[in-house]
A and B are shown apart, each in its own frame.
Chain A
Amino acid sequence: MIHINHVTLQAGDFRLENASFQVPTGDYCVLMGKTGCGKTTVLEAVAGLKKVESGQIMLGQQDVTTLHPRDRNVGYMPQDGALFNTMSVSQNLSFALQIRNADRQVIKKRVDELATMLEITSLLKRQIHGLSGGERQRVALGRALSFHPTTLLLDEPLSALDDRTRDQMCQLLENVQQQTGVTVLHVTHSQQEAERLAQWIVRINDGLLTTIAGRRPNRTQSVQTPSSAELAPQDTGALSKRRNSTASNEPPNT
């Protein structure tokens, strides 16, 4: 579960105040909004790369607001992948486990496992230079998943890909989510992606957050259908400084 609880963020000119939303464990949430509306900043706050001014971020049952990024058990995949250029594909995949001083056999097994799941077995020995855009995204995804994180944060993972590759990646992301049961927070500005992948959609609009259910059935829906009232935006009314008004809208608790 990702629980953003009345969080205030500041990054450059952009400011998000008193934002709240929740993603149930194992669900796929797409965070949408215009360019520069602070989607990435929210993601960074969850990863621990950006300090929150106030509020609380919960991952599962743990309050991670002040935790170091390494202690959050969060897989992060930034926009361009940000692969480690000086390492080979398999070194990229095994990096997190090596940092954790995992056994060599364990590392090898995990790398093979990831390569099979992401269909990049043939790339393992390759250097990062010369990988195609789709291949890079797969490697970056594998690296983010390598240490069995509970939460996966994707920052525009499909934006640089051509249509065909994007389609394949969408399929892959869906499969990965189902296989690993990881909670996904996916940032994009593409309506298409949101419709294809989202079980929940959080929109940021002028500092206002709204949560609606996506097209894909989520786990909760299979149990209970949230009432339309619960999904409608609720203005907290507490803050209406210029554009920095805030909506807190929570999906039903699991």
Chain B
Amino acid sequence: MAEPITSRTSSDRPFLIGLAILGATYISLIVGMLGADLLYLIVHKQIKMATIEFLWDDAGRLLHHGDKVTTQYDRRGLTIRTHSEQHPATIFEYLPVENEALKNSPATRFSTPMLGIAKTSSAADMPSVFQGPQAKLVFHWAEPVELTLLELSGIPINAVASARFLDVDGQLVASREIQGRTNGTLLEFSGKDKKQSGIQNVSGLELALPRGGFVSRIKYLWLGRARADWETDYPLLSRLAYNPLTAALQKPEIRYATKLSLISCTITAIFSLWLAIPIGYLLSRYQFRGHNLIDAIVDIPIVLPPLVVGLSLLILFQFVPRGLHDRVVYEIPAVVLAQTMVAAAFAVRTMRATFDQIDSRREEVALTLGCTRFQAFTRVVLPEARKGILTAATLAWARALGEFGPLLIFAGATRMKTEVLSTTIFLEMNVGDTAAAVAVSLIMVTGAMIVLIIARLWGNRAAI
């Protein structure tokens, strides 16, 4: 008796689900990567540390004894006034004491400039310190800040100064009583371990100095710029207008790097095609002695570690005449050369595959129709290779845009000279400006995308 055939239920589902999981993982990583960059720019809170030590004003001018201070620090959002116009906030610094009378008055001799209240508003007089129950320095910030440090000195022993921290609406946020000491008082609001933050949301500071005293240093974190009125009404628009990306685009170094990247990548793409089309054609169409050797040699830049390419170029240029060496190494030609070394190899691969796909019969027919080899190449092969040429150029361009290792060694990373966008990311990360690095990488992503889209559009049109 024949065994009963048990029916099997076969399913392709596990296989398809497996494919989908693997595919989806990778796709979501790619999209997530780019999305995270974008998100970072949007949610990133720009915070800048401002340290004011009264040595220079925001325009970079040195402050001197007797200079009145009001709006000198408004680029950092700070204006300074006193309780009265008659007694301006003034810089005091070390001066040899000539006037005996001044010797007994509170100290006016410091090794560094300090901010205090002057007795008179007249510029001609030697400033002396105003004392009185109403004596008060008033700091006002255009944007709420996080105050992290306030250093006072010159408060007489047994005297008490008081600080009142106010928010935007003039409400008291915090206050401190400060006892005079001989060697100055350092009020550090934020701990060094960053666990403890400073006094938040401070828009104003009233510092009462009834028996004299000075401010020698003030530190705070703030937005980095004063916001315009419309920005509070349209916060989203404000984010669009002011984010790390726009900030990056305003930096002259980054503008220069962007320009250099675009130009050098384009030149590299052209050079790569110029090399890749003949080499690719030669390798694809002709068999000759050393064919395989040449085939292997053009692959070397692809497999070589990028740093080695840069170093080898550098060493190669040790052996060229001095004049040429100085014109290339650590100069812009080095950027293009280093980029071309690698990009051209990829272009050669692409062009060779392209020519391999074009049936050589067409050229042979063209020959019988009266073409020379050159005519057959330019009139029949090149038009057919159009799509491949575009692909090769795109690939070379994108490759050149990302080139970094060889550039660092062969062209250097000098700002405003051989700095391309990938170098910028490196330099910005080095100084800890992650936001700028992310912004620059988004510029690169945009550039690469545009090139990709252009290539796709042209490619498709060529196919129709």
Contact = CB atoms under 8 A, between A and B. Distances in A.
A99 B368 contact: no
A95 B369 contact: yes
Q: Which of A69, A78, A96 has the most CB of B within 10 A?
A: A69
Contacts of B367: 48-49, 68-70
B375 A76 contact: no
Interface stretch (A82-90, A166-174, A237-245): A82-90
Contact of A49 (B362, B364, B369, B383): B364
Nearest to A95: B369
A82 B370 contact: no
A190 B428 CA distance: 73
A72 B362 contact: no
Contacts of B362: 82-84
Contact of B364 (A68, A69, A147): A69
Given A78-B361, A84-B362, A99-B375, A70 B368 contact: yes
A96 B364 contact: no
A7 interface: no
B382 to A, nearest CB: 9
Interface in B304-363: 359, 361-362
Interface string A43-70: 0100111000000000000000000111
Interface in A207-251: none
Interface size class on chain B is 10 to 19
Interface in B347-406: 359, 361-362, 364-372, 375, 379-380, 383-384, 386
A76 B363 CA distance: 12
A75 B384 contact: no
Interface string B427-456: 000000000000000000000000000000
Nearest to B365: A82
Interface size class on chain A is 20 to 34
B460 to A, nearest CB: 13
B291 to A, nearest CB: 16
A80 B361 contact: yes
Contacts of B384: 84-86
A99 B371 contact: yes
Contacts, number: 67
B364 A99 contact: no
Contacts of A82: 359, 361-362, 364-365
B369 A147 contact: yes
Contacts of A48: 367-368
Given A86-B383, A99-B375, A72 B361 contact: no
B359 A96 contact: no
B361 A96 contact: no
Contacts of A72: 368
A98 to B, nearest CB: 9
Contact of B368 (A75, A79, A85, A100): A75
Interface in B9-61: none
Contacts of B383: 84, 86-87
B268 to A, nearest CB: 27
Contacts of A86: 383-384, 386
A134 to B, nearest CB: 19
A147 B370 contact: yes
Nearest to B462: A86
Contacts of A69: 364, 367-368
Contacts of A19: none
A143 interface: yes
Nearest to B362: A82
Nearest to B464: A129
Contacts of A75: 368
A87 B379 CA distance: 10
Contacts of A77: 365
Given A85-B384, A86-B383, A86-B386, A99 B361 contact: no
Contact of A143 (B364, B369, B379): B369
A74 interface: yes
A84 B384 CA distance: 8
Nearest to B385: A86
B371 A70 contact: yes
A168 to B, nearest CB: 23
22 contacts: A44-B364, A47-B364, A47-B368, A49-B364, A49-B367, A69-B367, A70-B371, A76-B365, A76-B368, A78-B365, A82-B362, A83-B362, A84-B362, A84-B366, A84-B380, A96-B370, A99-B369, A99-B371, A144-B369, A146-B369, A147-B369, A147-B370
Given A70-B367, A82-B364, A95-B366, 10 more contacts: A47-B364, A48-B368, A68-B367, A69-B364, A79-B361, A82-B359, A82-B365, A85-B384, A144-B365, A144-B368
Report, nearest first, the 8 A-B pairs whose CB atoms are least far apart. A82-B361, A96-B369, A86-B383, A69-B367, A76-B368, A99-B370, A78-B361, A70-B370
